């Protein structure tokens, strides 16, 4: 579903899939009437609070990439990663790498790489080259 009006209606009615899709659509089209960061955060937060695993992962990634808050992002990303969300595992690798926790970064990159995330595998290899 990519019709913005239909996504809004479904999201307002409590459809967590629609909340995530709407937030991602709004974030992807900021110059085409897309939403503000606050609106994107609101929809992702609603989806995350329902327990929607992708919503949890996207909310954590938003908090890290857009709000620049590792403290806020980490609990959401861990929750999603522990539920098997590969993208959250890779972002956790990034967060821990940025924060200087190399061992945790390697663990999360490895977990994502084992599940097929090629970028995480590349990040793990680069980190291994840098740290031995």
Q: What is the pLDDT of residues 71-114, one digit of tens each?
A: 999 999 999 999 999 999 999 999 999 999 999 999 999 999 99
Q: Is 118 helix (H, G, I), strand (E, B) or coil?
A: helix
pTM of the model: 0.90
Query: Does residue 109 contact residue 121 with C-beta atoms inside 8 Å?
Result: yes
Q: Model confidence over 18-44: pLDDT tens digits?
A: 999 999 998 887 666 567 899 999 999
C-beta of residue 91 within 8 angstroms of C-beta of residue 105: no
| Sign of torsion over alpha carbons 119, 124, 125, 131 | positive
């Amino acid at each position: 579903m990519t019709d913005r009006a239909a996504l809004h209606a479904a999201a307002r009615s409590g459809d967590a899939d629609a909340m995530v899709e709407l937030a991602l659509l709004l974030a992807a089209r900021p110059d085409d009437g897309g939403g503000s960061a606050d609106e994107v955060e609101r929809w992702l937060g609603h989806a995350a609070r329902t327990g929607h695993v992708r919503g949890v992962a996207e909310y954590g990634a938003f908090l890290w990439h857009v709000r620049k808050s590792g403290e806020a992002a980490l609990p959401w990303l861990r929750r999603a990663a522990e539920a098997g969300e590969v993208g959250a595992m890779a972002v956790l690798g990034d967060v821990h790498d940025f924060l200087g926790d190399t061992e945790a970064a390697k663990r999360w990159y490895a977990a994502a790489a084992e599940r097929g995330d090629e970028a995480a595998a590349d990040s793990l290899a680069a980190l291994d080259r840098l740290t031995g």
